[in-house]
Amino acid sequence: MKIDWSHLRAAAADVAGRAYAPYSQLRVGAAGLTGDGRVVTGCNVENASFGLTLCAECGLVSALHASRPAGQAGSAEPALVAVAVVAGDGAALLPCGRCRQLLLEAGGPGLLVDTARGPVPLGELLPAAFDNADLSARREPG
Ligand SMILES: [Zn+2]
């Protein structure tokens, strides 16, 4: 699949302009390409409690699931294949640790994440991650 990184970066920059960031003044936008060719976006949404703040990638993952065709509702496939995260000025940002974990379940370790030095697989940004295989392996019989 050809990835149009300039389109993804532009989509991320556009949605960054819609961010709600009155406390940090750091607007962030994220855009992801799905395996079936959809582009989903999210922006950060801050909260006076700070602990309830949502990163842009949280909104992106929610949009990924919310925009699935009816027959794919609740499915993990098609997954994200590429993600760009940018600040309000368009500069690339790396996802925080929590969002790397969220993106792992939405795209797997091969998900390409745009960085200032170019796209890198998510597995390089989140090595030895906890995932659903760990959960399945350690679940007590019910
Ligand atoms: Zn985050």
In SS3 terms, the chain reads as CCCCHHHHHHHHHHHHCCCECCCCCCCEEEEEEECCCCEEEEECECCCCCCCCECHHHHHHHHHHHCCCHHHCCCCCCCEEEEEEEECCCCECCCCHHHHHHHHHHHCCCCEECCCCCCEEHHHHCCCCCCHHHHHHHCCCC
The CA 97 to ligand 1 mean position distance, Å, reads 6
The band of 132, judged by pLDDT with boundaries at 50, 70 and 90, is: confident
Kindly list the catalytic residues. 57
The CA 44 to ligand 1 mean position distance, Å, reads 9
Q: Computed over its alpha carbons, how large is the radius of gyration of the chain?
A: 15
The band of 101, judged by pLDDT with boundaries at 50, 70 and 90, is: very high
**Averaged confidence pLDDT in the chain:** 95
36-80 pLDDT, tens digit per residue, is: 999 999 999 999 999 999 999 999 999 999 998 888 888 888 899
- pLDDT at res. 59: 97
Mean pLDDT of 77-94: 95
The CA 53 to ligand 1 mean position distance, Å, reads 9
The CA 42 to ligand 1 mean position distance, Å, reads 11
The CA 98 to ligand 1 mean position distance, Å, reads 5
15-29 pLDDT, tens digit per residue, is: 999 999 999 999 999
